[in-house]
A = this chain, B = another copy of it.
Amino acid sequence: MGDVLVIVIGTTDVSLIPGISIAGPSPEATHYTPALDVEYLLTGRPKTLDAVPVTPDGIPTPAVVTRALTRDLPKLVVDAGSRIPPRVPRVVLGGVPGGDIRQGAMPREAAEEIAAGGRLLGRQLAPLGRVVIGESIPGGTTTAMAILLALGYNAWGRTSSSSPDNPKELKIKVVRDALARISPPLDAITAVAEVGDPVHLAVASIALGVVEGGGEVILAGGTQMAAAAALYKALGGDMERLAVATTRWIVEDKSADFLGLMREVGVRRIYISKTSFATSRCRGLRAYERGYVKEGVAMGYALWHAETKGVDPLPHVEAELERLGSCFA
């Protein structure tokens, strides 16, 4: 049995705050990004908008890397709560899009639905192979920081960013405003309902169900997966049975503290992709070495998956970018 790739998508209104997220051409456009990511991942082109999965500067979304390197794997999209539903088959859990955490993320009942639905889905997936869970949620590094703090971890300014200039002061300010309403440590459901988002809870709950069902799990992502792992732990998940896979770019990000967060949360097994894009003939991929993108849509896992098979990822990613007409020298 091979791996099954589950991509959990959702939105948070945190991404509408100007300057928080560069995962879209404008704050409003970030709400389209998860849908476009999974439409492209499954079909090779975005469907909801006539767009390419590449910025105007030629920098590809991480889904390009994941698509290029995981053609052999079955993929399942889970929509934990998105303002823009993707036009591909998607598992819905009964969740809702996340609100602005300064006012509250979602009704408690919605968080409970996500947790129960995610867990039940995980149980069903457990016999199918190792379940790899990635994410797409613009604004997610901000809500991850808030979730970790709400659960009692000192995460101030320690989550990463898809920008080379991590807007940490702004993120800290938003999270501080959100946390002013609550008194950590909170339980997982309350933390998410108050200052979280649908995606981190869905990732944690699916992982819990898989592990309860006797299966194996890899959380595929950067510092956001510290928040997902912390929720998993708070829901009673066994930390010995959880692994995280991410990129070199995340681990080396000096604006964040991936390894420190993972250690504090109690994640023991970490797989880190080694690939460099420094020698790429595509400008947009070389930008990854300057701190753009770093993670998302299970990119770190996809690179590591190729590496463990002895495949050099770069030519495959370049070929996909070429196909998209976006490999600019």
A binding-site residues for B, Cβ under 8 Å: 1-2, 4, 42-43, 72-76, 78, 87-94, 113, 117-118, 120-121, 124-129
Distance, CA A121 to CA B224, complexed state (A) = 28
Which chain B residues border A124 with CB–CB below 8 Å?
Answer: 42, 74-76, 89
Contact A89 B89 (CB under 8 A): no
Contact A120 B74 (CB under 8 A): no
Interface SS of A by simple majority:
mixed
A42 touches B91 (CB 8 A): no
CA–CA, A78 and B117, complex, Å: 14
Residues of B within 8 A of A88 (CB): 117, 120
> How many Å lie between the Cα of A121 and that of B113 in the bound state?
24
A-B contacts, 18 listed (Cβ < 8 Å): A1-B1, A4-B128, A42-B124, A74-B126, A74-B127, A87-B94, A88-B117, A88-B120, A89-B91, A89-B92, A89-B117, A89-B120, A89-B121, A89-B124, A90-B92, A92-B92, A128-B128, A128-B129
Beta-carbon contact of B94 and A91 below 8 Å: no
Residues of B within 8 A of A118 (CB): 89
Complex CA gap A16/B125 in Å reads: 35
Complex alpha-carbon distance, A76 and B117, angstroms: 12
* Chain B residues, Cβ within 8 Å of A126: 74
CB distance from A89 to the nearest CB of B (A): 4
**Nearest 9 pairs of A and B residues by beta carbon:** A89-B121, A89-B117, A74-B124, A74-B127, A91-B91, A89-B91, A89-B93, A128-B128, A75-B124
Report whether A43 and B87 are in contact in the complex, using a CB–CB cutoff of 8 Å.
Answer: no
CB-CB nearest in chain B for A202: B89
